[in-house]
Amino acid sequence: MAPHTEQLTRPAVRLQGLTRSFDGRTVLDGVDLEIPAGQFVALLGHSGSGKSTLLRAVAGLDHEVTGSGLLTAPERVSVVFQDSRLLPWRRILPNVLLGLDGRGAEERGRAALAEVGLAGRERAWPSELSGGEAQRAALARSLVREPELLLADEPFGALDALTRIRMHALLRELWKRHRPSVLLVTHDVDEAIVLADRVLVLDHGRIGLDLTVDRPHPRSYRDPLLSEYRTELLGALGVVEDTD
Ligand SMILES: Nc1ncnc2c1ncn2[C@@H]1O[C@H](COP(=O)(O)OP(=O)(O)OP(=O)(O)O)[C@@H](O)[C@H]1O
């Protein structure tokens, strides 16, 4: 069934004049941002530009933001970090189900693990998983909560290049199936343009560039048409490409 038009246009996230300072130093300086429901957005910016600070504010984890601040955020928000944050003393399935109970929870947990390719690993300990598998389990833990908004802070930052590419395909696949809004923080320009339909660059406390990436999926790193987006994003980040 086609989603109601209003659902497509209703913003999942709406920020107005979001401001955050630490010890008198302004990190976010009046950020205005709307993310429509179901949109896949990546957030780029230099180290220390305030990406995680913005993500924490959207997640509702920061109560010290000022301005008219966070006006809208959905009820069901899941966050995935660079490390899986699995509890080492619990097996994988209970980790995925953490805080959930009720009828059908276990079944949903098993289904989520199967979706991320971890069927059969329900009883494994976190220490028995590879880095990529642990991040898959973290994604399953998010999925099982059926988030309307998925916030991801460098979720693939600690993975090797090959695993990272596989995780890109998995994340995009999960997004296609469940259609949450996504805000993905990354340092990696290529990761942003291969995955996201809109890429933001945070600069001097504001959204300095808001770029729509209008290419079909699945996208390849080698797609020459993506290189224009890459050049524009690198320019916004102040990186001059070597043209040799
Ligand atoms: N709890 C805090 N107390 C003091 N300063 C903080 C705190 N959290 C963040 N900051 C500062 O705010 C700035 C932005 O930090 P943030 O972690 O949001 O940046 P980032 O863009 O996510 O960086 P990175 O890409 O390196 O993870 C940094 O200068 C950081 O030192």
User: How high is the ipTM of this complex?
Assistant: 0.97
**Best of 53, 58, 186, 200 to mutate for ligand 1, by most ligand atoms within 8 A of CB?**
53
Same domain as 211, residue 154: yes
- CA of 49, closest atom in ligand 1: 21
Structural domain containing residue 169: 36-65+147-244
Cα 153 to middle of ligand 1, angstroms: 13
Q: What are phi and psi of 100, to 5 degrees?
A: -100, 140
pTM, two decimals, is 0.92
Cα end-to-end span (Å), the chain: 50
Q: Is 152 helix (H, G, I), strand (E, B) or coil?
A: strand
- CA of 154, closest atom in ligand 1: 27
Q: What is the CATH number of the domain that holds 228?
A: 3.40.50.300
pLDDT (tens, 9 = 90+) of the chain, 244 residues, equals 344 444 555 788 999 999 999 999 999 999 999 999 999 999 999 999 999 999 999 998 888 877 666 777 788 999 999 999 999 999 999 999 998 888 899 999 999 999 999 999 999 999 999 999 999 999 999 999 999 999 999 999 999 999 999 999 999 999 999 999 999 999 999 999 999 999 999 999 999 999 999 999 999 888 889 999 999 999 999 987 766 6
Q: Is residue 31 part of a domain?
A: no
Same domain as 60, residue 151: yes
Q: Is residue 151 part of a domain?
A: yes
The response to whether residue 43 sits with its C-beta less than 6 Å from ligand 1 reads: no
The response to whether residue 22 sits with its C-beta less than 6 Å from ligand 1 reads: yes
Same domain as 134, residue 218: no
Write down how long the chain is.
244
Cα 224 to middle of ligand 1, angstroms: 34
The response to whether residue 45 sits with its C-beta less than 6 Å from ligand 1 reads: yes
Q: Is residue 61 part of a domain?
A: yes
Q: Is residue 17 part of a domain?
A: no
Torsion of CA 47, 38, 142, 111, to 10 degrees: -140
The response to whether residue 147 sits with its C-beta less than 6 Å from ligand 1 reads: no
